[in-house]
């Protein structure tokens, strides 16, 4: 077993990139993801990695360079946050549409204006329909593990899609906690070497990327993209099984926590899920049957499996750390509601918007949600389908 170390979530990502022996890494610094590249460029300067590091003049250029390097045939990784991800947006569907297995760490941060550097999920949620695979991480350990597994999923011959690995900016990216590394040899064996299927640099077999596809073929490309995404859950489970064999740590499409016999439940992403597990344990001690579902694979969203895990509940709250403003619900709520829409029996659902712009998710917020769910499960009417919590006014 490898040694336990004290490290930040950002250090965890940088170490995963080192262990994956990335060929090319192009990035532009932005808080709170900056530390990832600070650490990784130190590995490059010290000769610990042989990576070609390209520090670009903007995130748009950084993603463009990643696209070029991936099309050329390299293993490619980058990192960003917030406005940086927003500036990359134009290039994201190009990376996924050209089936380039780029791996990108995202430190989730609020979107301007007003300017804010704190955590919320508006940045990655704003890119959820760009055709990328998205994995979410509760803590630094999961960020490290997800990052290593991301290369395997992205480069799988049946998949060949870019992957985003998201974790909460500052809350886990800058927080020191116990993390267990993987030994370099075990990591190298697990991640393996990468051979691109149609690299631009293979001059014996010329290939072309980014061609025109008009109304006669474009929709077939999109259908193929959708069909490929349908294979991701199966591949993810294969990769997770191999990862468990080398690390001892088990992962699935999502985490179910005390959900099997639960009557009320919460769905929430990333670090807030850890806080919520402690709250659920306290309610369980009082005899209240509460549980949690923490999505890990958010794109593609495993609708059937999520519905099976939640449909028996009486009342369910989905906590979103971002919003789709005006009448509609938070993005996570919409996916959960969509998943349950085909179930004859399903819970009464409420949506809470929390933790925007770095507002702390305090235990009493989760407790109030559970208290409300207890009443709804007893038949009390829903006061508000969607509500902001932990907020003034």
Residues that bind another protein (CB under 8 A): 4-6, 32, 117-118, 139, 168, 170-172, 174-178, 271-272, 274-275, 277-278, 358, 360-363
Starting at the edge strand found earlier in the chain, the sheet holding 254-257 runs 254-257, 290-295, 264-267, 315-320, 348-353, 386-388
Give the DSSP H/E element, type plus range, for residue 37.
helix 34-45
| DSSP-derived 3-state class of residue 104 | strand
- 118/331 with CB nearer another protein: 118
Instruction: Specify whether the CB–CB gap between 143 and 9 falls below 8 A.
Output: yes
Token pair of 28, please?
Answer: 């532009």
Least separation, in Å, of the C-beta of 294 and another protein?
A: 11
- 112/342 with CB nearer another protein: 112
Q: What angle do CA 35, 41, 45 make, to 5 degrees?
A: 145
For the chain, the residue count is: 393
User: How does DSSP assign 135-155, residue by residue?
Assistant: EE-SSHHHHHHHHHHHHHHHH
Cα–Cα distance measured from residue 54 to residue 73, given in angstroms and rounded to the nearest whole number:
16
**Phi, psi for 265 (deg, rounded to 5):** -150, 160
Least separation, in Å, of the C-beta of 287 and another protein?
A: 21
- 257/329 with CB nearer another protein: 257
Least separation, in Å, of the C-beta of 169 and another protein?
A: 8
Least separation, in Å, of the C-beta of 273 and another protein?
A: 8
Least separation, in Å, of the C-beta of 238 and another protein?
A: 27
Least separation, in Å, of the C-beta of 44 and another protein?
A: 19
- 128/174 with CB nearer another protein: 174
- 77/171 with CB nearer another protein: 171
- 60/368 with CB nearer another protein: 368
Cα–Cα distance measured from residue 160 to residue 297, given in angstroms and rounded to the nearest whole number:
16
């Amino acid at each position: 077993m490898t040694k336990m170390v004290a490290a930040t979530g950002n250090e965890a990502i940088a170490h995963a990139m080192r262990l994956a022996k990335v060929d090319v890494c192009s990035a532009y610094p932005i808080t709170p993801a900056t530390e990832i590249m600070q650490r990784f460029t130190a590995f490059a300067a010290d000769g610990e990695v042989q990576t070609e590091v390209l520090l670009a003049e903007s995130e748009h250029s950084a993603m463009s360079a990643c696209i070029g390097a991936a099309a050329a045939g390299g293993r490619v990784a980058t990192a960003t946050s917030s406005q940086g991800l927003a500036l990359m947006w134009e290039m994201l569907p190009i990376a996924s549409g050209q089936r380039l297995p780029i791996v990108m760490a995202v430190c989730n941060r609020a979107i301007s204006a007003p300017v804010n550097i704190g955590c919320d999920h508006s940045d990655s949620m704003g890119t959820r329909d760009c055709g990328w695979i998205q994995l979410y991480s509760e803590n630094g350990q999961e960020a490290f593990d997800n990052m290593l597994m991301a290369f395997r999923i992205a480069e799988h011959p049946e998949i060949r899609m870019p992957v985003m690995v998201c974790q909460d900016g500052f809350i886990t990216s800058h927080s020191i906690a116990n993390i267990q590394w993987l030994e370099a040899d075990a990591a190298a064996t697990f991640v393996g070497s990468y051979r691109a299927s149609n690299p631009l640099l293979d001059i014996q077999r010329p290939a072309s990327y980014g061609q025109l596809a008009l109304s006669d073929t474009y929709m077939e490309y999109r259908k193929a993209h959708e069909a490929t995404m349908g294979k991701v859950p199966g591949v993810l489970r294969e990769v997770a099984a191999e990862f468990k064999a080398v690390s001892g740590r088990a992962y699935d499409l999502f985490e179910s926590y005390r959900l099997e016999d639960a009557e009320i439940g919460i769905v929430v992403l990333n670090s807030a899920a850890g806080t919520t597990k402690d709250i659920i344990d306290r309610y369980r001690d009082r005899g209240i049957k509460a549980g949690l579902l923490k999505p890990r694979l958010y794109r593609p969203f495993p609708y059937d499996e999520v519905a099976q895990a939640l449909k028996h509940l009486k009342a369910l709250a989905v906590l979103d750390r971002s919003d789709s403003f005006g009448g509609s619900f938070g993005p996570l709520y919409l996916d959960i509601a969509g998943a349950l829409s085909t179930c004859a029996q399903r819970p009464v659902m409420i949506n809470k918007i929390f933790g925007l712009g770095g507002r702390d998710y305090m235990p009493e917020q989760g407790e109030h949600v559970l208290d409300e769910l207890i009443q709804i499960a007893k038949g009390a009417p829903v006061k508000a389908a969607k509500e902001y919590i932990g907020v003034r006014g």
